[in-house]
Structure 1
Protein backbone atom coordinates (compact mmCIF):
# COMPACT_ATOMS: atom_id res chain seq x y z
CA UNK A 1 0.00 0.00 0.00
CA UNK A 2 1.47 3.29 -1.07
CA UNK A 3 1.48 6.45 0.99
CA UNK A 4 -1.18 8.06 -1.20
CA UNK A 5 -3.49 5.02 -0.91
CA UNK A 6 -2.94 4.95 2.82
CA UNK A 7 -3.77 8.66 3.18
CA UNK A 8 -6.88 8.31 1.02
CA UNK A 9 -8.11 5.47 3.23
CA UNK A 10 -7.66 7.60 6.32
CA UNK A 11 -11.13 8.65 7.72
CA UNK A 12 -10.12 12.29 8.31
CA UNK A 13 -8.97 12.64 4.68
CA UNK A 14 -12.22 11.06 3.43
CA UNK A 15 -14.20 13.36 5.69
CA UNK A 16 -12.71 16.60 4.34
CA UNK A 17 -12.30 15.53 0.70
CA UNK A 18 -15.67 13.84 0.21
CA UNK A 19 -19.36 14.58 0.59
CA UNK A 20 -19.37 13.96 4.37
CA UNK A 21 -17.61 16.94 6.01
CA UNK A 22 -19.20 16.27 9.42
CA UNK A 23 -17.99 12.66 9.45
CA UNK A 24 -21.39 11.16 10.17
CA UNK A 25 -21.69 8.75 7.27
CA UNK A 26 -19.38 7.04 4.80
CA UNK A 27 -16.32 9.03 5.92
CA UNK A 28 -16.51 7.51 9.38
CA UNK A 29 -16.74 3.93 8.14
CA UNK A 30 -13.71 1.74 7.83
CA UNK A 31 -13.48 -1.62 6.11
CA UNK A 32 -13.93 -3.23 9.52
CA UNK A 33 -17.09 -1.33 10.36
CA UNK A 34 -18.50 -2.09 6.90
CA UNK A 35 -18.36 -5.81 7.75
CA UNK A 36 -20.16 -5.44 11.10
CA UNK A 37 -23.82 -6.49 11.13
CA UNK A 38 -26.32 -5.87 13.93
CA UNK A 39 -26.87 -8.82 16.28
CA UNK A 40 -30.58 -8.63 15.57
CA UNK A 41 -30.34 -8.77 11.76
CA UNK A 42 -30.43 -12.58 11.69
CA UNK A 43 -33.50 -12.96 13.93
CA UNK A 44 -36.44 -14.97 12.57
CA UNK A 45 -38.97 -12.88 14.48
CA UNK A 46 -39.35 -10.12 17.03
CA UNK A 47 -41.69 -10.64 19.98
CA UNK A 48 -43.00 -7.70 21.99
CA UNK A 49 -42.66 -8.16 25.74
CA UNK A 50 -42.46 -6.31 29.05
CA UNK A 51 -39.43 -6.18 31.33
CA UNK A 52 -39.96 -8.47 34.35
CA UNK A 53 -37.94 -6.56 36.93
CA UNK A 54 -40.07 -3.77 38.36
CA UNK A 55 -43.45 -2.11 38.26
CA UNK A 56 -42.57 0.37 35.51
CA UNK A 57 -43.36 -2.09 32.71
CA UNK A 58 -40.78 -1.02 30.13
CA UNK A 59 -41.37 -2.44 26.66
CA UNK A 60 -38.90 -4.92 25.22
CA UNK A 61 -38.27 -6.36 21.77
CA UNK A 62 -37.24 -10.00 22.09
CA UNK A 63 -35.34 -11.30 19.05
CA UNK A 64 -35.72 -15.02 18.34
CA UNK A 65 -33.78 -17.26 15.94
CA UNK A 66 -34.51 -20.97 15.59
CA UNK A 67 -36.73 -20.87 18.68
CA UNK A 68 -33.98 -19.40 20.89
CA UNK A 69 -33.85 -15.88 22.31
CA UNK A 70 -30.79 -14.16 20.84
CA UNK A 71 -31.17 -10.55 21.99
CA UNK A 72 -33.45 -8.35 24.10
CA UNK A 73 -33.59 -4.60 23.52
CA UNK A 74 -35.83 -1.71 24.50
CA UNK A 75 -38.99 -1.31 22.42
CA UNK A 76 -38.97 2.12 20.74
CA UNK A 77 -42.76 1.84 20.25
CA UNK A 78 -43.39 1.56 24.01
CA UNK A 79 -45.05 4.69 25.42
CA UNK A 80 -43.65 3.78 28.83
CA UNK A 81 -39.94 3.52 28.07
CA UNK A 82 -39.59 4.74 24.45
CA UNK A 83 -36.87 2.18 23.72
CA UNK A 84 -34.86 2.68 26.88
CA UNK A 85 -34.04 0.06 29.52
CA UNK A 86 -32.32 0.37 32.87
CA UNK A 87 -29.22 -1.77 33.54
CA UNK A 88 -31.33 -4.62 34.94
CA UNK A 89 -33.70 -4.56 31.98
CA UNK A 90 -30.76 -4.42 29.57
CA UNK A 91 -29.35 -7.57 31.17
CA UNK A 92 -32.65 -9.50 31.04
CA UNK A 93 -31.32 -11.75 28.26
CA UNK A 94 -29.61 -13.61 31.10
CA UNK A 95 -33.04 -14.62 32.41
CA UNK A 96 -33.54 -16.83 29.38
CA UNK A 97 -30.04 -17.85 28.37
CA UNK A 98 -27.91 -17.37 31.49
CA UNK A 99 -26.03 -20.36 32.84
CA UNK A 100 -27.24 -19.52 36.37
CA UNK A 101 -30.91 -19.97 35.46
CA UNK A 102 -32.46 -23.01 37.06
CA UNK A 103 -34.54 -25.16 34.72
CA UNK A 104 -35.93 -27.47 37.40
CA UNK A 105 -37.71 -27.35 40.73
CA UNK A 106 -35.41 -27.34 43.75
CA UNK A 107 -36.60 -28.08 47.29
CA UNK A 108 -34.89 -27.72 50.65
CA UNK A 109 -36.51 -29.71 53.41
CA UNK A 110 -37.24 -28.03 56.76
CA UNK A 111 -33.99 -27.66 58.71
CA UNK A 112 -32.13 -29.02 55.68
CA UNK A 113 -28.92 -27.60 54.31
CA UNK A 114 -28.98 -29.00 50.77
CA UNK A 115 -31.30 -28.44 47.80
CA UNK A 116 -32.77 -31.47 46.07
CA UNK A 117 -34.47 -31.63 42.68
CA UNK A 118 -38.19 -32.45 42.52
CA UNK A 119 -40.44 -33.17 39.59
CA UNK A 120 -43.03 -30.48 38.88
CA UNK A 121 -46.06 -32.64 39.73
CA UNK A 122 -44.69 -33.43 43.19
CA UNK A 123 -43.90 -29.77 43.85
CA UNK A 124 -47.39 -28.67 42.78
CA UNK A 125 -48.98 -31.30 45.05
CA UNK A 126 -46.86 -30.09 47.96
CA UNK A 127 -47.93 -26.48 47.34
CA UNK A 128 -51.62 -27.45 47.09
CA UNK A 129 -51.43 -29.48 50.30
CA UNK A 130 -49.79 -26.60 52.15
CA UNK A 131 -52.33 -24.06 50.90
CA UNK A 132 -55.22 -26.28 52.03
CA UNK A 133 -53.59 -26.88 55.42
CA UNK A 134 -52.76 -23.17 55.93
CA UNK A 135 -56.34 -22.27 55.03
CA UNK A 136 -57.70 -24.87 57.43
CA UNK A 137 -55.48 -23.78 60.32
CA UNK A 138 -55.85 -20.04 59.77
CA UNK A 139 -59.57 -19.92 59.00
CA UNK A 140 -61.64 -17.35 60.91
CA UNK A 141 -65.42 -17.41 60.84
CA UNK A 142 -65.83 -14.39 63.10
CA UNK A 143 -63.77 -11.73 64.76
CA UNK A 144 -65.18 -9.49 67.50
CA UNK A 145 -68.69 -10.85 66.79
CA UNK A 146 -68.44 -9.82 63.14
CA UNK A 147 -68.65 -12.50 60.44
CA UNK A 148 -65.40 -12.33 58.43
CA UNK A 149 -65.04 -15.78 56.78
CA UNK A 150 -61.36 -15.39 55.92
CA UNK A 151 -57.92 -16.87 56.39
CA UNK A 152 -54.74 -15.15 57.42
CA UNK A 153 -52.79 -18.33 56.71
CA UNK A 154 -51.44 -17.19 53.34
CA UNK A 155 -51.20 -14.14 51.11
CA UNK A 156 -50.46 -13.25 47.51
CA UNK A 157 -47.89 -10.82 46.13
CA UNK A 158 -48.16 -10.58 42.34
CA UNK A 159 -45.39 -9.61 39.98
CA UNK A 160 -45.19 -6.41 37.99
CA UNK A 161 -45.20 -8.16 34.65
CA UNK A 162 -48.64 -9.66 35.08
CA UNK A 163 -51.25 -8.01 32.91
CA UNK A 164 -54.66 -6.83 34.13
CA UNK A 165 -56.38 -10.07 33.20
CA UNK A 166 -53.85 -12.21 35.09
CA UNK A 167 -54.06 -9.95 38.14
CA UNK A 168 -57.85 -10.16 37.99
CA UNK A 169 -57.75 -13.97 37.96
CA UNK A 170 -55.22 -14.14 40.80
CA UNK A 171 -57.34 -11.74 42.88
CA UNK A 172 -60.44 -13.86 42.23
CA UNK A 173 -58.61 -17.11 43.09
CA UNK A 174 -57.17 -15.87 46.37
CA UNK A 175 -60.41 -14.14 47.36
CA UNK A 176 -62.31 -17.37 46.68
CA UNK A 177 -59.88 -19.19 48.98
CA UNK A 178 -60.56 -16.64 51.72
CA UNK A 179 -57.31 -14.65 51.60
CA UNK A 180 -57.45 -10.97 52.43
CA UNK A 181 -53.78 -10.09 52.02
CA UNK A 182 -53.58 -9.74 48.25
CA UNK A 183 -51.19 -7.24 46.77
CA UNK A 184 -49.30 -6.60 43.57
CA UNK A 185 -45.75 -5.39 43.12
CA UNK A 186 -46.99 -2.73 40.70
CA UNK A 187 -48.66 -0.95 43.61
CA UNK A 188 -46.03 -1.53 46.29
Structure 2
Protein backbone atom coordinates (compact mmCIF):
# COMPACT_ATOMS: atom_id res chain seq x y z
CA UNK A 1 0.00 0.00 0.00
CA UNK A 2 1.40 3.37 -1.01
CA UNK A 3 1.87 6.08 1.58
CA UNK A 4 -0.38 9.10 1.42
CA UNK A 5 1.40 12.43 1.50
CA UNK A 6 -0.07 15.28 3.58
CA UNK A 7 -0.94 17.13 0.34
CA UNK A 8 -3.39 14.34 -0.48
CA UNK A 9 -5.25 14.67 2.81
CA UNK A 10 -8.88 15.73 2.29
CA UNK A 11 -8.49 19.01 4.19
CA UNK A 12 -5.65 20.13 1.86
CA UNK A 13 -7.59 18.99 -1.22
CA UNK A 14 -10.54 20.98 0.10
CA UNK A 15 -8.45 24.14 0.47
CA UNK A 16 -6.91 23.73 -3.02
CA UNK A 17 -10.23 23.11 -4.81
CA UNK A 18 -13.54 24.89 -5.13
CA UNK A 19 -15.11 22.44 -2.68
CA UNK A 20 -15.08 24.82 0.29
CA UNK A 21 -17.81 22.91 2.17
CA UNK A 22 -15.86 19.65 1.98
CA UNK A 23 -18.80 17.63 0.68
CA UNK A 24 -17.71 16.89 -2.89
CA UNK A 25 -14.70 15.77 -4.86
CA UNK A 26 -12.20 17.11 -2.31
CA UNK A 27 -13.17 14.52 0.28
CA UNK A 28 -13.74 11.64 -2.11
CA UNK A 29 -11.16 8.90 -1.70
CA UNK A 30 -9.25 7.29 -4.56
CA UNK A 31 -11.07 4.01 -3.90
CA UNK A 32 -14.45 5.74 -4.18
CA UNK A 33 -13.44 7.47 -7.44
CA UNK A 34 -12.40 4.10 -8.90
CA UNK A 35 -15.58 2.35 -7.83
CA UNK A 36 -18.04 1.50 -10.59
CA UNK A 37 -21.63 0.30 -10.27
CA UNK A 38 -21.93 -3.48 -10.16
CA UNK A 39 -24.48 -3.24 -12.96
CA UNK A 40 -21.77 -2.02 -15.39
CA UNK A 41 -20.43 -5.58 -15.66
CA UNK A 42 -23.78 -6.95 -16.87
CA UNK A 43 -24.08 -8.09 -20.47
CA UNK A 44 -27.86 -8.67 -20.22
CA UNK A 45 -30.67 -6.72 -18.55
CA UNK A 46 -34.21 -8.13 -18.49
CA UNK A 47 -37.43 -7.03 -16.85
CA UNK A 48 -39.13 -9.43 -14.46
CA UNK A 49 -41.63 -9.66 -11.61
CA UNK A 50 -40.68 -10.27 -7.98
CA UNK A 51 -41.55 -13.86 -6.99
CA UNK A 52 -42.39 -13.29 -3.32
CA UNK A 53 -45.97 -12.04 -3.10
CA UNK A 54 -48.98 -11.29 -5.26
CA UNK A 55 -48.23 -7.55 -5.55
CA UNK A 56 -46.16 -8.03 -8.70
CA UNK A 57 -43.38 -5.47 -8.20
CA UNK A 58 -41.23 -4.91 -11.27
CA UNK A 59 -37.58 -5.93 -11.21
CA UNK A 60 -34.60 -5.39 -13.45
CA UNK A 61 -32.40 -8.48 -13.58
CA UNK A 62 -28.74 -7.91 -14.47
CA UNK A 63 -26.83 -10.95 -15.71
CA UNK A 64 -23.33 -11.69 -16.90
CA UNK A 65 -22.50 -14.93 -18.71
CA UNK A 66 -26.04 -16.25 -18.02
CA UNK A 67 -25.67 -15.77 -14.25
CA UNK A 68 -27.66 -13.21 -12.26
CA UNK A 69 -25.31 -10.64 -10.70
CA UNK A 70 -27.77 -8.00 -9.46
CA UNK A 71 -31.50 -7.36 -9.06
CA UNK A 72 -33.07 -3.95 -8.49
CA UNK A 73 -36.48 -2.32 -8.70
CA UNK A 74 -37.76 -1.37 -12.15
CA UNK A 75 -38.53 2.37 -12.30
CA UNK A 76 -40.80 1.74 -15.31
CA UNK A 77 -43.12 -0.52 -13.28
CA UNK A 78 -46.48 1.18 -12.63
CA UNK A 79 -46.91 -0.98 -9.52
CA UNK A 80 -43.68 -0.46 -7.60
CA UNK A 81 -42.09 2.49 -9.47
CA UNK A 82 -38.57 1.22 -8.80
CA UNK A 83 -39.05 0.20 -5.17
CA UNK A 84 -38.65 -3.27 -3.68
CA UNK A 85 -39.31 -4.59 -0.20
CA UNK A 86 -36.37 -6.21 1.64
CA UNK A 87 -37.31 -9.68 0.38
CA UNK A 88 -37.62 -8.49 -3.21
CA UNK A 89 -34.33 -6.64 -2.99
CA UNK A 90 -32.64 -9.82 -1.76
CA UNK A 91 -34.17 -12.11 -4.40
CA UNK A 92 -30.77 -12.44 -6.10
CA UNK A 93 -29.89 -14.74 -3.20
CA UNK A 94 -32.88 -16.91 -4.08
CA UNK A 95 -31.57 -17.38 -7.61
CA UNK A 96 -27.90 -17.94 -6.74
CA UNK A 97 -28.31 -19.93 -3.51
CA UNK A 98 -26.20 -23.09 -3.27
CA UNK A 99 -29.20 -24.80 -1.62
CA UNK A 100 -31.54 -24.10 -4.56
CA UNK A 101 -33.18 -27.22 -5.95
CA UNK A 102 -32.85 -27.42 -9.72
CA UNK A 103 -34.44 -30.80 -10.33
CA UNK A 104 -37.66 -32.56 -9.37
CA UNK A 105 -37.25 -34.82 -6.34
CA UNK A 106 -39.64 -37.65 -5.44
CA UNK A 107 -39.79 -39.92 -2.43
CA UNK A 108 -41.90 -43.03 -2.96
CA UNK A 109 -44.22 -44.14 -0.15
CA UNK A 110 -42.25 -45.68 2.75
CA UNK A 111 -38.96 -44.98 0.97
CA UNK A 112 -36.06 -43.38 2.84
CA UNK A 113 -34.33 -41.63 -0.05
CA UNK A 114 -35.35 -39.08 -2.61
CA UNK A 115 -34.91 -39.80 -6.30
CA UNK A 116 -34.53 -37.32 -9.14
CA UNK A 117 -37.27 -37.41 -11.78
CA UNK A 118 -37.57 -35.82 -15.16
CA UNK A 119 -40.08 -32.99 -15.31
CA UNK A 120 -42.21 -34.88 -17.85
CA UNK A 121 -42.43 -37.94 -15.61
CA UNK A 122 -43.34 -35.84 -12.57
CA UNK A 123 -46.11 -34.01 -14.46
CA UNK A 124 -47.48 -37.33 -15.76
CA UNK A 125 -47.51 -38.75 -12.21
CA UNK A 126 -49.39 -35.70 -10.89
CA UNK A 127 -51.93 -35.81 -13.74
CA UNK A 128 -52.53 -39.55 -13.26
CA UNK A 129 -53.11 -39.14 -9.53
CA UNK A 130 -55.41 -36.14 -10.01
CA UNK A 131 -57.52 -38.00 -12.58
CA UNK A 132 -57.65 -41.13 -10.39
CA UNK A 133 -58.77 -39.14 -7.33
CA UNK A 134 -61.37 -37.31 -9.40
CA UNK A 135 -62.77 -40.53 -10.82
CA UNK A 136 -62.77 -42.33 -7.45
CA UNK A 137 -64.48 -39.51 -5.52
CA UNK A 138 -66.78 -38.01 -8.19
CA UNK A 139 -70.32 -37.03 -7.12
CA UNK A 140 -72.97 -36.35 -9.75
CA UNK A 141 -75.71 -35.65 -7.20
CA UNK A 142 -75.93 -35.02 -3.48
CA UNK A 143 -77.96 -37.08 -0.98
CA UNK A 144 -81.14 -35.17 -2.00
CA UNK A 145 -80.72 -35.87 -5.70
CA UNK A 146 -79.64 -32.33 -6.59
CA UNK A 147 -76.93 -32.17 -9.28
CA UNK A 148 -73.57 -31.11 -7.83
CA UNK A 149 -71.01 -32.49 -10.34
CA UNK A 150 -68.04 -32.26 -7.98
CA UNK A 151 -65.20 -34.22 -6.45
CA UNK A 152 -64.10 -34.30 -2.86
CA UNK A 153 -60.96 -36.26 -3.78
CA UNK A 154 -58.57 -33.32 -3.91
CA UNK A 155 -58.31 -29.68 -2.96
CA UNK A 156 -56.17 -26.70 -3.86
CA UNK A 157 -54.28 -24.47 -1.45
CA UNK A 158 -52.60 -21.72 -3.44
CA UNK A 159 -49.67 -19.66 -2.29
CA UNK A 160 -49.25 -15.93 -1.99
CA UNK A 161 -46.08 -16.04 -4.07
CA UNK A 162 -47.99 -16.12 -7.34
CA UNK A 163 -49.73 -13.14 -8.84
CA UNK A 164 -53.45 -12.55 -9.31
CA UNK A 165 -53.50 -13.79 -12.90
CA UNK A 166 -51.94 -17.13 -11.94
CA UNK A 167 -54.34 -17.47 -9.00
CA UNK A 168 -57.24 -16.81 -11.37
CA UNK A 169 -56.06 -19.54 -13.78
CA UNK A 170 -55.51 -22.04 -10.94
CA UNK A 171 -59.02 -21.34 -9.63
CA UNK A 172 -60.43 -21.93 -13.11
CA UNK A 173 -58.43 -25.16 -13.55
CA UNK A 174 -59.52 -26.70 -10.25
CA UNK A 175 -63.13 -25.55 -10.69
CA UNK A 176 -63.19 -27.15 -14.15
CA UNK A 177 -61.76 -30.35 -12.63
CA UNK A 178 -64.67 -30.39 -10.16
CA UNK A 179 -62.90 -29.38 -6.94
CA UNK A 180 -64.85 -27.35 -4.42
CA UNK A 181 -62.16 -26.93 -1.76
CA UNK A 182 -60.14 -24.14 -3.33
CA UNK A 183 -58.33 -21.80 -0.96
CA UNK A 184 -55.41 -19.42 -1.04
CA UNK A 185 -52.78 -18.61 1.57
CA UNK A 186 -53.15 -14.88 0.89
CA UNK A 187 -56.79 -15.00 2.05
CA UNK A 188 -56.30 -17.21 5.11
Gaps of 5+ in 1: none
Is 1:20 aligned to residue 19 of structure 2?
yes
Partner of 2:94: 95
Partner of 2:176: 176
Is 1:8 aligned to residue 7 of structure 2?
yes
Gaps of 5+ in 2: none
Instruction: Decide whether the 8 Å contact of 2:53 with 2:163 is kept in 1.
Output: no
Residue deviations 1:142-181 (CA, integer Å, cap 9, x gap)? 2242321111222334444545544443333222111223
Given the superposition, is the C-alpha separation of residues 28 and 140 from structure 1 closer, same or farther in structure 2, using an over 3 Å criterion? farther
Given the superposition, is the C-alpha separation of residues 48 and 39 from structure 1 closer, same or farther in structure 2, using an over 3 Å criterion? same
Instruction: Decide whether the 8 Å contact of 1:57 with 1:160 is kept in 2.
Output: no
Partner of 2:29: 30
**Alignment RMSD, CA only?**
2.6
What is the SS of the residue equivalent to 1:83? coil
2: distance between equivalents of 1:24 and 1:142? 78
Equivalenced residues, count: 185
What is the SS of the residue equivalent to 1:76? coil
Residue deviations 1:32-78 (CA, integer Å, cap 9, x gap)? 11221111112123222221112333322111223322211222333
Normalising to structure 2: TM-score of the pair? 0.81
Normalising to structure 1: TM-score of the pair? 0.81
Partner of 2:107: 108
Is 1:81 aligned to residue 80 of structure 2?
yes
1: distance between equivalents of 2:153 and 2:73? 40
Partner of 1:143: 142
Given the superposition, is the C-alpha separation of residues 78 and 187 from structure 1 closer, same or farther in structure 2, using an over 3 Å criterion? farther
Given the superposition, is the C-alpha separation of residues 55 and 187 from structure 1 closer, same or farther in structure 2, using an over 3 Å criterion? farther
What is the CA-CA distance between 1:184 and the residue it aligns to? 4.3
Given the superposition, is the C-alpha separation of residues 56 and 76 from structure 1 closer, same or farther in structure 2, using an over 3 Å criterion? same
Counting only pairs closer than 5 Å after superposition, residues 33-72 of structure 1 correspond to structure 2 as 33-72=32-71
Is 1:124 aligned to residue 123 of structure 2?
yes
